[in-house]
Structure formats: structure tokens, C-alpha cells
Amino acid sequence: MSGPVVAALGAAGLLAIIDWIAVARDDLRVERLAKPAVMIALIGAVLLSGPSSSPARLLLLAALAASLAGDWLLLPPVRFIGGLVAFLVAHLAYLALFLLGDLDPRLALVGLGVAVAVLATIGRPILAGATRAGMGGPVAAYFGAICLMAIAATSSGSPLAAAGAWLFILSDAGLGSDRFALPPTVTRAAAARRRLAVIVTYHAAQILLTLAVLGSAA
């Protein structure tokens, strides 16, 4: 990867750390700037990676742009349905990206097994809570899309892609549990700790997925 690409990726990492500190401190003013800035830096890294307009590169840009929209929609005041739709588009773009490559059926079975385990454990209380809230269908569709994306990433044979995809599921599971399964937090500090776990895994996922695609292209 070229120097500008590495610099953009480094900027994304630095901005992510700034955002994590803002979340831990419950500093919404800084978070409103730092959270979307991470995705903008990742988009910049892709654009700086070269003039190629390959399908994989375009799908990565689509996934990151949809994620940027989702980040903005999930900042207070939270527009949950809009954010859900934006990230559904992002996962479908990532899924299409991995389906472009050669997939290993044996690794796909491994990914399928992990996905079933996730849905049977973490997913069940989230889906039950979403159903009680009248959002069972949309949340189930979202879970299906992100699990398919993670299975495809796993079967791609890229450790970075697989790690990024499952970290994405971990992040979304934390967000879903906080909204639909766990009891409300009693203090702002406790709420900040939950949000910090979600955002750290989310940024790690996006950076790893971007590295996997750019590294493969290189």
C-alpha cells in the first residue's frame, strides 16, 4: 500500500481512538465529529488506493458510505430504523464483495456453524425483545444479512476479513442487546461503558475489513 493510503488508515485509527475517549467521557460534541470522521478517513484510504474502478473497490466504497450514513443516523437523536436500513445496505455490499472471490466450502461450513451458535445464544434474546417491540421482522432480516456476510468473509480465506466480520457481529450484538434484551442502565457511566464496547468492536471491524480488501487488491 502507498504512503497516502497508510496515512489515511493511520488517521482512521487515531480518529477512532479519539471517538472512543469521547464515548467513555460521554462527550457527545466530540463524538459527533470523530465518529463519522473515522469512516471518511477509511473512504479516503480507498480513494487513494488507486484509480481502479473494480467491482470490489466500488462495493467497498458503497459499504463504507452506507456505514457513514448509519453512523450519523445512530447519533443522538437516534433514528434506529434509518440506521438499521443503512447498515443493512452496508452488509449487503460487503456480502456482494466477498461473493466476487473464490470461496472455500469448508470454511463456509465453519462460518455457518459459528453463525448458528451466535443466533442460538446471543441472537435469541435480541430477536425476542425486538419481536415484543414490534420490530422482529426487520431485526431478523438484519441478522440474516450480517450472518451471511460473516460466513462469506470467513470462506474467503482472509483472516482479516473473517476477524472484521465477526467483530461486526459482536458490535451489533452489543447494540441489539442494549436496545432489546438488557435492562436499562441506571447511570450514564454504565451506559457509556456499553456504548464503548460497541464502538470499539465496530471500528476494529471496519478497519480490518478495509485492510483485507485493500491488501487483497494490492
Domain assignment present for 81:
yes
Distance CA 202, CA 181 (A): 19
To the nearest 10°, the Cα dihedral for 6, 8, 10, 14?
180
For 137-174, the pLDDT digits (tens) are: 999 999 999 999 999 999 999 999 999 999 999 999 99
Count structural domains, the chain.
1
Mean pLDDT of 95-123: 96
How far apart CA 176 and CA 142 sit, in angstroms, is: 11
**Is 125 part of any domain?**
yes
- Banded pLDDT at 87 (limits 50, 70, 90): very high
How many CA atoms lie within 13 Å of 191's alpha carbon, on the beta-carbon side? 8
- Residue 81 has a CB neighbour count (10 Å cut-off) of 11
Give the residue-averaged pLDDT of 26-50. Answer: 94
Does residue 39 belong to any structural domain of this protein? no
Decide if pLDDT at 188 tops 80: no
Interval 128-135 mean pLDDT: 94
- Exposure pattern of 162-193 as b/e (b: 16+ CB <10 Å)? bbbbbbbbbbbbbbbbbbbbeeeeeeeeeebe
Please give the average per-residue pLDDT across 105-126, as a whole number.
96
Are 167 and 212 in contact by the 8 Å Cβ rule? The answer is: no
Whether 8 maps to a domain, the answer reads: no
**36: in domain:** no
Distances (CA, A) of 106 to 114, 154, 159, 210: 13, 10, 15, 24
User: What string of DSSP letters covers 45-65?
Assistant: HHHHT-S---HHHHHHHHHHH
* pTM of the predicted model as reported, rounded to 2 decimal places: 0.93
Query: Helix, strand, or coil here: 185?
Result: coil
Inside any domain, residue 188: yes
User: Which residues form the domain of 179?
Assistant: 53-217
